[in-house]
Amino acid sequence: MLKFLQDLKSKEHKPGYGGLEIFKYIGPGLLVTVGFIDPGNWASNLAAGADFGYKLLWMVTLSTVMLIILQHNVAHLGIATGLCLSEAASMHLKPFWSRSILGTGMLASVSTSLAEILGGAIALNMLFHIPIKAGALLVLAFVIIMLITNSYRLIEKWIIAFVSIIGLSFIYELSLVNIDWGEAARCWITPSFPHGSMIIIMSVLGAVVMPHNLFLHSEIIQSRQWNLKDDKVIKKQLDFELFDTLFSMIIGWGINSAMILLAATTFFRTQIPITELQQAQETLKPLLGSQASVIFAIALLFAGVASTITSGMAAGTIFAGLYKEPYDIKDNHTRTGVIVSLIVATIIIFLISNPFNGLIISQMMLSIQLPITIFLQVYLTSSEKVMGKYKNRALTKFTLYLVGAIVTSLNIMLLVSILF
């Protein structure tokens, strides 16, 4: 079956190795970055800044490093094999194991979509006083239309625009406050564990790596493939992918840092605890003015919509992979995965009385499934049968297992804290 990406490539296309060529490669990493700045991260970051000031900024640095390691590795799978993580699992594992693992991946995508749709609905409630459930339907309809009617290239451009708006919004917000940049710089690189901070630390570090992003990155990185036969070209693609990942994750690091800085310079200084996104937006009005609170809500809306789009794409990738097929929005399997994930997530929103409980449920599901996806990825990318000479080296494998163990431990600790 033809990949949805083939319309992006020409048989005659050859990579230009000039300085500007690398900027044409930027895009896939930014779609992954959206999952790093989704509404769930907003809540954790604002709570970190409101409760502990600058002291937990180091979490953003450490989580970004872990994310770069895992996303860079899974992107290698796509470049070296021409397969996404879901396809590779179906082709190289026994059917029972591949279907079981990818089944949990679909459940994780539903959980992710639930949190993202909720975030967009909360933003609509902030801006237009639309009820949460009605807002969820609006987000659902908009995202499905976007995914069904747009090519990958157009989706990528939309996401880049959304990320730009989010980034500019926080630049504006930060221009309104006085930041102690010296203290911030120290806290970015100095771990600190203030009393009562462990739940927030586990939440931020454990939730930053999301299962759907690992599936998604291995698929969309292939939009920059030139061919799978020329070793020199593959090597150049791997180098360009690293630049794209680093560039995009640094943007995510900046936006997440901005959330903590904003909360630290407003809520922490005034000793106002923040437990919900709506509360943060309302509290900004007397502190920074109504314009700042509106921009805050607009940024949240774009974050919710953008992350819902990428969550839906990931679901399509996972479901198509069950049939050993690539993501192709014109194919029934891909469309089924996208629509089922988003609609089921919205139905769950209608069944729960408290949106906050919905976020807790989604995080519990992700905490359970994430280790499965991480160790699936490490197994496949360490296999010579799958990767050939591009398999993980011993040091790379050790690093990946170490990061996987850390993230798994944090998620288990977070799950236990939620349940008990």
Note the pLDDT tens digit of each residue in 301-334: 999 999 999 999 999 999 999 999 999 999 999 9
**Separation CA 125–CA 326 (nearest Å):** 37
Percent of the chain with pLDDT over 70: 90
**Separation CA 133–CA 3 (nearest Å):** 36
**Separation CA 267–CA 272 (nearest Å):** 5
Tens digit of pLDDT for each residue in 122-140? 999 999 999 999 999 999 9
Mean of pLDDT over the chain = 87
* Helical segments of 196-325, H only: 198-207, 211-220, 231-263, 277-288, 290-322
Tens digit of pLDDT for each residue in 158-170? 999 999 999 999 9
**Separation CA 36–CA 44 (nearest Å):** 12
Q: Which two tokens stand for residue 237?
A: 């693609």
**Separation CA 261–CA 48 (nearest Å):** 10
DSSP element (H, E) containing 341: helix 332-351
Q: What are the CA-CA distances from residue 365 to residues 89, 216, 377 (Å)?
A: 21, 18, 19
Give me the pLDDT at residue 255, please: 94
Q: pLDDT class for 10, splitting at 50, 70, 90? A: very low
| Least confident among 3-7, 219-223, 288-292 | 3-7
One of 3.20.20.70, 1.20.1740.10, 1.25.40.80, 1.10.760.10 is the CATH number of 18-419, namely: 1.20.1740.10
Q: How many residues does the chain have?
A: 420
Phi and psi at 93, nearest 5°, equal -115, 160
Q: pLDDT class for 395, splitting at 50, 70, 90? A: very high
Cβ 76 vs Cβ 389: under 8 Å:
no
